[in-house]
Structure 1
């Protein structure tokens, strides 16, 4: 640590803060969440919060990133179907059910708050897009998928659409088995795999 620089929180303390932020978000929603409330809930000064995070949008996005339901990072089974199956296996239906309203509220708030939109995109969306691009590029390199496959740019849309549409159509979170069936019936055939 540099003299006079911000002190880094321990990983345990950071995890506590993130859990408290998400609990508050579930209780009051993004619009009513304040740094004062976070400071009170976590027994932390606002100055400490602002030293660690530039503001509410970044704190919320980091909390979501820390406790997100699934990540594509580190998945490499040797085949695209295997990689997508491994991603589905990482889904936690109970957690998705608990967080469904939270994500709907944040999606709505992000439309009205450009800072939140940027923070969510930078910390949640772009890393997963990069992870998915990596999975698809490895499939090209292995010869599973032609590089010019027209459906490749639409895979993120198909997978995100699945998450949103399932909640609306089935009134519940998507689970690993449904994702596997969707990938087998829609995504892989669209890619020609």
Structure 2
């Protein structure tokens, strides 16, 4: 291929890529509308009720546009679930491990009004659908687990936590589990408005052998 032909080919490829990007661009307002449709379908019928065709029909959006943006249903659902999600544990760093864990409890207590129908639909889908589980694990769960593990590692570095404490490996799973169990067993915790705080104080801190020293 001559240099001129190669240059022409590159120009055509660039123009095509630019045109494709322009065609696939979705405004923030339109994206919000699409995500709300996804979440409504999740609440109404669970993960199985969400289809690319159904979202397209509900929002009068071309199905091809959805596939250009999100490739498949798990990516679309994950994007909708995480669009405005505030992390529970990421960014918490008070300077002490006890302070970090109590801040985690405070943040969780502030969000007790979580969308129960949506959480239940996602929880069921997480177990039954490996493709969604993988997407959610990478974008939601793993960052939260990593944040808790980082808190514990800082505690070890500061000498607050024994490096061989066997409870350390269970802290992140226990915290993640309580976020769901509190809602599922809400009648058990109905008289405990700050369930996560009580959980931290009565279970996690003693297990880690932490005190106010």
Same fold (TM over 0.5): yes
Distance in 1 (CA, whole Å) between partners of 2:156 and 2:99 is 14
**Which range is displaced more, 50-59 or 83-92?**
83-92
- 1:48 aligned residue: 65
Q: How does 1:8-47 map to 2 (within 5 A)?
A: 8-47=25-64
Shift of 1:28: 2.4
Shift of 1:181: 1.3
Q: Contact 1:70 / 1:90 at 8 angstroms: preserved in 2?
A: no
Structure 2: runs of 5 or more not aligned: 1-13
SS of the residue corresponding to residue 194 of structure 2 reads helix
SS of the residue corresponding to residue 93 of structure 1 reads coil
Distance in 2 (CA, whole Å) between partners of 1:10 and 1:87 is 34
Distance in 1 (CA, whole Å) between partners of 2:29 and 2:103 is 28
Shift of 1:125: 1.2
* Higher Cα Rg, which structure: 2
Of residues 180, 187, 191, the one that matches 2:204 is 187
User: How many correspondences in the alignment?
Assistant: 190
SS of the residue corresponding to residue 49 of structure 2 reads coil
Structure 1: runs of 5 or more not aligned: none
TM-score, length basis structure 2? 0.76
* Alignment RMSD (CA, Å): 2.6
- 2:102 aligned residue: 85
